[in-house]
Homo-oligomer: A and B are copies of this chain.
Amino acid sequence: MNIGEAAQASGIPAKTIRYYEDTGLIPAADRSRSGYRVYDGRDVHTLRFIHRAREPGSSVQDIRKLLALWQDRTRASAEVKALALAHLSELDEKLAKLKAMRRTLAHLVAHCEGDHRPDCPILDDLAGEAAEPLQGNGGLRFN
């Protein structure tokens, strides 16, 4: 299959696939006699792996590691597990932040009239509190 089909099947744009190849994240694809990149099911599998692991906000470096481990079956599972656990805790952090944000936003939407008056309190409240407790700040507003 050509790159377009592989892109469709994996969810990664053709451009990005070439980029991944350039930067060594994936090995160079085989070429047809005419120079077209040729992919098979295994390649798509790998691309999907990447696509899956690449949720927005995560570094490609992590995926590179994950991928390397995945492809090197001689490694001890302990290493893999440790990596996965690290990834997991990062994920949890991100989740917590997003949840806090979501909660605040939902709360504020609920308190916004949504009419023509200019005094919707949403953004004032949104501005008032910080997500991370780096500095102690006054009254936390989201329950």
Contact = CB atoms under 8 A, between A and B. Distances in A.
A70 B131 contact: no
Contacts of A84: 105, 108-109, 112, 122
Contacts of A76: 115-118, 120
- Which 10 A/B pairs are nearest by Cβ-Cβ distance? A77-B120, A49-B127, A56-B57, A70-B123, A81-B114, A57-B57, A80-B120, A81-B112, A76-B116, A91-B102
A70 B93 CA distance: 28
A127 B56 contact: no
Contacts of A40: none
A140 interface: no
Interface of A: 8-9, 11, 45-46, 48-49, 51-53, 55-57, 66, 69-70, 73-78, 80-81, 84-85, 87-88, 91-92, 94-95, 97-99, 101-102, 105-106, 108-109, 112-120, 122-124, 126-132, 134-135
Q: How many copies does the complex hold?
A: 2
Contacts of A130: 11, 48, 51-52
A81 B114 CA distance: 6
A94 B106 CA distance: 15
